[in-house]
Amino acid sequence: MPEETSLRAEVRQTEGLTFLARGRSNHWVALDTSEAGGGHGAGSNPMELLLMALGGCTGMDIVAVLKKMQQQFTGFRIELSGERAEAHPRRFTKISIDCVLTSDTVAVEDIVKAIRLSAEKYCSVGATLTPGVELVHRYRIIRSSREDSGEA
């Protein structure tokens, strides 16, 4: 069954700058800003959620590709950091996506291939952000005896 080409979401103000949002999955997400910014600190701010969405999309792609390649790993995480413009609207100008894989068997070429497939073909969040935002993908493979790292 093909995925829908149209998505919807609802965002409701609860109090001040605190909002609740949900999409078709019907899961609520709290959005807020810091107390210094006029909020209550009751949820992630929208820019954090954007980083999380990019990390989730990238991660799901990479794990699916590695599984199709029948690669074994015991841990996987993505660490993201974004650089923002100084002037409003303070959009992201560059986002670093660091993929950390724990495995003694996955070859560097395989993680690089999985990252590139996500970046160039599958990750809809990343594709939505580019070309306006520079996305830098890096990897680190933690092994029993050493670490391999580089840019994908």
pLDDT confidence bin for 5, thresholds 50/70/90: confident
Residues in a beta bridge with 147? 142
Note the Cα 100 to chain centre separation in Å.
13
CA distance 81 to 65: 24
Is 46-151 assigned to CATH 1.10.645.10?
no
Q: What is the mean pLDDT of residues 19-33?
A: 95
Closest C-alpha to 21, from 54, 56, 45 = 45
Q: What is the CA angle 46-87-11, rounded to 5?
A: 20
Tokens at 7, concatenated = 């998505």
Q: What is the pTM of this model?
A: 0.92
Digit-coded pLDDT (tens) for 56-90: 999 999 999 999 999 999 999 999 999 999 999 99
